[in-house]
Amino acid sequence: MVTELTTSGLKTDEMIINMGPQHPATHGVLRLIVTLDGEIVKHTEPVLGHLHRAQEWQGQVRTWFQYQALIDRVDYLSGMFTSWALCRAAEDIDGTEVPEKAEWLRVLVSEMNRISSHLLWLGTYLIDLGAMFGFPFYPFRERDKLLTLFEEIAGQRMMFNYIRVGGVMREPKADWYKRVENFTKEFPDRVDEYEAIVTQNPIFLKRTKV
């Protein structure tokens, strides 16, 4: 549409706009200096560093055990993965062997964390496109169930501090597994629900299809 206007003799200019660090679409802080031609982005320069919290430097001056508390915040949506990486590194250097049940528990909670992180992606992606239900309603309902399960096993909803060097923090009670299983039983229906709302939605298709 922009090219039609230009060929009909209308002079268009490029605008340089700053999508500053605080913006509902940046999800955290990211500053984008975009060069726009109408609504088409011609060029962008991202400016990072608004959340540089000196975690590399803290990793240098802290011991392995002390850094365990900080590593959840490095990628706060997937705290289990980052703390697993730290503990695995320490175990590799040390030669520690992790009991098999702990390995399975690590896999289980990490995959639950992956699901919760992807649910957050879905929510924010949809709200970027304008679908109001994405952010406050459906995906966060499932995410909240997962966070309640994490709270039972690790004591905290988000910064778990659960995976330790040599294993995991503690073993869950027997009925925790049952609750996880209930969640997995009802989750595919939810995914179908999200898909039903999103995939055939004409607004979604128009905004994402090229």
Nearest to 107 by CA among 68, 160, 29, 163: 163
- Least distance CB 194 / other proteins (angstroms): 15
Strands 163-164 and 40-47, sheet pairing: unpaired
Retrieve residue 201's tokens.
Answer: 């939605």
Give whole-number Cα distances, 182 to 73, 118, 152, 173, in Å.
Answer: 29, 19, 15, 15
CA–CA dist 98, 91 (Å, integer): 8
Give residues 108-137 in contact with other proteins (rule: CB under 8 A): 120, 123, 135-137
Stretch that binds other proteins, among 8-16, 163-171, 174-182, 191-199 (CB under 8 A): 163-171
Q: Does 49 bind other proteins (CB under 8 A)?
A: yes
Q: Does 201 bind other proteins (CB under 8 A)?
A: no
CA–CA dist 200, 210 (Å, integer): 15
One symbol per residue from 3 to 22: x for binding other proteins (CB under 8 A), - otherwise; what is it? Answer: -----------------xxx
Q: Does 163 bind other proteins (CB under 8 A)?
A: no
- Residues within the interface to other proteins (CB under 8 A): 20-24, 27-29, 48-61, 63-65, 67, 69-71, 73-78, 81-82, 84-86, 88-99, 120, 123, 135-137, 140-141, 143-144, 147, 157-159, 165-167
